[in-house]
Structure 1
Amino acid sequence: MKNYIKTGFLSLLCASSFIFVGCSEDYLNDPQPTEIVAESVIFGSRTGVEAFLSGIARRARGQFSSVDAAGVNSIYFARTLKGNDLIHARSWWGFDYDNDNREPTYRRTSFSWEFPYYMINQLNACINGVETSELSEVDKSELIGQARALRGFYYFQLALEFQEGYTSSNRDLPAPPIYTELSTEGKPMGTLGELYDFIVEDLTTAISSLSEDRLGKSYVNVNVANGILARVYLAMSNWDGAEDAANAAYGGNVAAVLDPDSYGNGFDDISNVEWIWGNPQTGDQSNYYYNAPSAFVDPINPAYNNIYINEFFANEFTATDARNTFTYGTATDFTKVTSTKFVFAFSSDIVLMRTAEMILIEAEAKFRQGDEIGARDLMFELQSNRDPMAVKSTNTGSALEEEILLERRKELYGEYGVEWFDAKRLQRGIVRTPNHRIVKTLEPNDKRFYLKIPQVEIDANENIDDSVNSGR
């Protein structure tokens, strides 16, 4: 990790100047640093730190190294295309679709390691700067809470990308190292258990210091932190924790946080009541074509036009379902079905977390704990909101489990790789239908569910050598 820490963060001042110059009125309009901003300016006021955090949010949606290695959306979309529900036609993300993009020298591997660590370094700079500042204890607690929630989020991405799904029996598997300070010295690999414990600590500490207040939906508040924790607990099979965190994330009132009429509006507006967290876009700060959802075939607002919908998946939606945004063409191959779920525009906002996901996490957690009635009732609240003709499930056992998991795919396809995430955490594998352009099966715990450690890290870090990829 020495190389990219040295080049990206020579000191707290370098990290801070990049962020701060990317954030206030002039800074937000100019993503390139034009001058050095003193540490005392950034950490001398709450406004300065909030500008720091704004710059971190801006970096999360910017282009990091290429079109398919941009920000958080690129990580999410690469996972999405490894599954069965979407079909890739051409161009960007093709190797991800092929589930063949994991070698140490590949761009996906390097990006999926370097981008989260880049963001973690900035968050460490924020945390350390606030801790040593003269801000009030209230301001310190709230600002550090935001940064720790984000740090937990990015370490969670590393945990998902670079090791098997978490189980109580594989906590000793090697996992990416943990950094809490700016450093030019690379650490050895840690363990998966240590990494998940650290993630949970960051998030629970953040939750204890945050409220629902925030400057906007691109910032972290207690709802966002709970939503991240709900995902983490889901990955850890901590069903009780997942239920509580998910309920806290959306507030517990299903009717108040859903708007089926807006589902077909193109998923481009962060102000939607269903959005808990997102990245806003403006025309003068657009990420242009590297906003991953622009890859969908949108017959109204075309962009890359390289992603189609699996016909078998589309057929799972009823005609009266608000989520049925599909158009069936006359083609007989994988290009038959398109979707207008994601409208393309240079100013389209990017969704990161929605209330419906949290409702379904809570429903699954109830099911896993034996409360099948509660799971069916909660799921039906969502289903009947989406489809006025929905019929309440009478399923039990494995049939109810499959219904909940299908409902997650129907609700969240194209957003953050839910099909891949569920297959990995539940050790289920992914079986593609024969209509795919590339038909591949991922077995449970398939090595293709995680990446090899990038060669750039091995070359730069004296505590990690080539043996780290043995057996991977």
Structure 2
Amino acid sequence: MKIINNKILLISGLSLLSIFSSCESDYLEKDPTESASELLITSSLDNLNIALNGMHRNMYYRQNSSQGQNGATGVMIYMDVMGEDLVFPSTGNNWFVSTLRWLDNTNATSSGLFYPYDFYYGQIRIANIILKATPNVTGDQVLKDKVMGEAYAFRAYCYFMLTQIYAKRYVAGTSNSQPGVPLRLDDSFNPIPRSSIEEVYTSVNSDLQKSFSLLSGKARSNKSHFNAEVVKGLMARVALVQGKYANAATYAKEARQGFGLMTNTQYKSGFNDYSNSEWIWGYKPIETTSDFFGNFMAYMSRNYNSTQIRQAPKVVNNLLYSQFPTTDVRTQVIAPTGVHTSLTLSNSYSKYPYTSQKFLSVNATGTVDNNTSLGDIPFMRAAEMYLIEAEALAKDAREPESKIVFNEFTKNRNPLYVGTTKSGSAYIDEILTSRRLELWGEGFRFLDLKRLNLPLDRTGANHVSAVTNNLSMVPAGDKRWTWLIPQAEINASQGLVVQNEL
């Protein structure tokens, strides 16, 4: 087995990102002990493919960061705890509490603020190396296309996330000339200024189109990798943010083809198996490379036996819960009493009302197990695409078409649903409320509030003031919606990177 442990500098020398990788069949079952230079990585198509596989592993495995900062999965948690729908009933052992209090995003020297910036630019750095080297190596053209197609998808995904977090919101119909993020499309290290938001989105869309062209008609090894459908899903997300609703609806519909909605029984099984028919893109941590207390399930599952889960289980906003009937399967993974009788949790687990068992950890055989923090991680599901399509069609003045999509989706989640009777803005609100419950815990809420220009409103719900530090409201458009640029980047940029409003 070939393994690479390559230290690659970030765009301005801010940090180091390790690439740990292996052949796909065994998901790195050995420790990465061999090292190779960038020259070795770029010397063959096989090595470039290994580097690409390392990028996928980086998405869920902690590199040079703190516990809980496990690639993109840690960012997913950030994006939900900064919203109003994921509730902390206690501080537990303080993981993610400063993020929940909106303290990290306003502190330019915070490690929490630095971590997403560091992670995504580290991935971009590797993608740029792959994209530069792959055309110049010999090898099977299909594999070359797949390696380049995935690298383009990674770069687009990372810039899309960076711009949503560290720049102001995209506003359709305007120039969007406000500062975005530094847009580096090569493997150089010289300091560069921030490109405009429009320039970044133009690059993101260009990369996605290139990725789709290269990956179309090509099979992937498993759901952890990009294929044409995943790329279409990313295109749908980007188009929705940009207010290009006709495109968003089309891309979302195309992305979900072949991915049927799960049954109600599957919905209640723990969101831990990426072989589920509905999952378009997801990751599968394995026992031999488990990060244990750092894994996604170590924070988001109801059953993992850790101090974090026992003391501070993840709770659903009770006001959100109350908007859905008990016949909706999405309410059936939430325990209003907090007891969770089906899990037989011991007395050491704190029982808070409205805790969720949407996510359940499993052991290596896939059996629900509170002694491990394993469990596959959803990054894109057909449900999201249904909801994007319904929202986009409604906002594109195609409400009858939208209702066909939304009713089909909702009937799956609630067999007694008879169809929406709402119209106009009330109907769009119904879609968005459904999206809140459906995607709870999957890393969307902060980003949705920002793109919709809505306030953070935790008032009247089951939030605990001692946990939130009395942060209950953040107005729409407040400067805090735009995370500061890490001070280390400002310092290293030789004055080229300008800080956001302090």
Indicate whether the TM-score tops 0.5: yes
Other structure's SS at 1:352 match: strand
Counterpart position of 1:370: 397
Distance 1:38 1:445 in 2: 43
- Which whole-Å deviations, capped at 9, do the CAs of 1:97-132 have from their partners, x for residues lacking one? 112212110112111211100010011111111022
What is the deviation of 1:295? 2.1
Amino acid at match of 2:62: Q
Distance 1:3 1:157 in 2: 20
What is the deviation of 1:19? 3.7
**Inter-CA distance 67–9: structure 2 relative to 1 (3 Å threshold):** closer
Distance 1:6 1:232 in 2: 27
What is the deviation of 1:244? 1.3
The answer to whether the 8 A contact 1:351-1:415 is kept is yes
The answer to whether the 8 A contact 1:61-1:287 is kept is no
- Which whole-Å deviations, capped at 9, do the CAs of 1:35-67 have from their partners, x for residues lacking one? 32684676534x443322211101111113112
Amino acid at match of 1:203: L
Matching residue within 314, 332, 336 for 1:328: 336
Identify which range, 207-216 or 22-31, moves more after superposition. 22-31
Distance 2:9 2:145 in 1: 32
The answer to whether the 8 A contact 1:296-1:303 is kept is no
Matching residue within 139, 145, 153 for 1:141: 145
- Which whole-Å deviations, capped at 9, do the CAs of 1:275-311 have from their partners, x for residues lacking one? 1111111111113222234324615756622222222
Counterpart position of 2:482: 450
Distance 2:299 2:375 in 1: 13
**Inter-CA distance 245–297: structure 2 relative to 1 (3 Å threshold):** closer
1:241 counterpart = 2:241: no
The answer to whether the 8 A contact 1:9-1:121 is kept is no
What is the deviation of 1:137? 4.3
What is the deviation of 1:22? 4.6
Matching residue within 89, 100, 117 for 2:121: 117
What is the deviation of 1:448? 1.9
Matching residue within 421, 424, 428 for 2:447: 421
Matching residue within 168, 178, 200 for 1:173: 178
- Which whole-Å deviations, capped at 9, do the CAs of 1:3-28 have from their partners, x for residues lacking one? 73476899xxxx8xx64755567881
Percent of residue pairs bearing the same amino acid type = 28
Counterpart position of 1:313: 320
Q: How does 1:64-463 map to 2 (within 5 A)?
A: 64=63, 65-88=65-88, 89-90=90-91, 91-102=94-105, 103-167=107-171, 168-169=173-174, 171-211=176-216, 213-251=219-257, 256-296=260-300, 298-299=302-303, 304-305=308-309, 306=312, 307-324=314-331, 325-329=333-337, 335-344=352-361, 345-417=372-444, 419-434=445-460, 435-437=462-464, 438=468, 439-463=471-495
Distance 1:5 1:30 in 2: 30
Distance 2:421 2:146 in 1: 45
Distance 1:350 1:399 in 2: 32
What is the deviation of 1:457? 0.6
Distance 1:360 1:75 in 2: 22
For structure 1, the residue ranges without an aligned partner over 5 or more in a row are: none
Counterpart position of 1:51: 50
Amino acid at match of 2:324: F
Amino acid at match of 1:95: S
For structure 2, the residue ranges without an aligned partner over 5 or more in a row are: 1-7, 340-349, 362-371
Other structure's SS at 1:190 match: strand
Other structure's SS at 2:66 match: coil
Distance 2:279 2:182 in 1: 32
Report the RMSD for the aligned CA atoms in angstroms. 2.6
The answer to whether the 8 A contact 1:162-1:175 is kept is yes
The answer to whether the 8 A contact 1:260-1:385 is kept is yes
The answer to whether the 8 A contact 1:44-1:133 is kept is yes
The answer to whether the 8 A contact 1:109-1:454 is kept is yes
TM-score by length of 2: 0.85
Other structure's SS at 1:276 match: strand
**Inter-CA distance 303–267: structure 2 relative to 1 (3 Å threshold):** farther
- Which whole-Å deviations, capped at 9, do the CAs of 1:358-409 have from their partners, x for residues lacking one? 0110111110111111111111111111111112001101100100001111
Distance 2:9 2:290 in 1: 29
